[in-house]
Amino acid sequence: MEAAKRYEAVKCLQNLSVQETEEPIEERYSLSLTSGEIVNVRVSQMIRWDRESSILFTQRLDRSNGHKNLLEYATHFSEVISKGVLWEMEDHINALAELIRLAFLLEFNEEAVGFLMKSKNLQIFMEDEEFLSAAFPSE
């Protein structure tokens, strides 16, 4: 991915506002069939990204139910973020989702994520380091 696209992706994440709820996020769809029948569907999700309004809706992570709940949340989070960032590059979504999922489970620990990236033969370029340092100054 060229540098300008990478920076656009980071800015997209940076401009997100997050709305957290105790309950799952529910979406409802209605489809009118040519037969006149109307099909109503309700979908329940842990996380949803509304790209148009730059809002990430998320159900609060419940850590009390152990590893399964954490893995489920990390999976949904990584898929939503990957699809939101790489929506124009569908062939890379799964690879990014896997990387984000593992990083999430490692609690985004810098050293662990660094090793993970090396094991996947990935690196952060110097110009990206500079961009990220400017976008997210350390406190």
Phi/psi of residue 121, nearest 5 degrees? 60, 45
* DSSP H/E element including 110: helix 110-119
Average pLDDT over residues 47-62: 92
Domain extent listing, the chain: 3-135
Which burial class, exposed, middle or buried, applies to 42 when counting CB atoms under 10 A from its CB (0-12, 13-18, 19+)? exposed
> What is d(CA 28, CA 48) in angstroms, rounded to the nearest whole number?
13
Q: What does each C-alpha distance from 47 to 33, 38, 78, 88, 113 come to in angstroms?
A: 29, 27, 10, 20, 23
> What is d(CA 54, CA 26) in angstroms, rounded to the nearest whole number?
18
Does the pLDDT value for residue 134 go beyond 60? yes
Does the pLDDT value for residue 29 go beyond 80? yes
**Which two structure tokens, joined as six digits, stand for 60?**
């609060």
Residue 79: predicted pLDDT: 96
What tens digit of pLDDT does each residue of 105-127 get? 999 998 999 899 999 888 888 88
Residue 99: predicted pLDDT: 94
* DSSP H/E element including 49: strand 47-50
Average pLDDT over residues 29-33: 91
Considering the chain, what percentage of its residues have pLDDT values greater than 90? 53
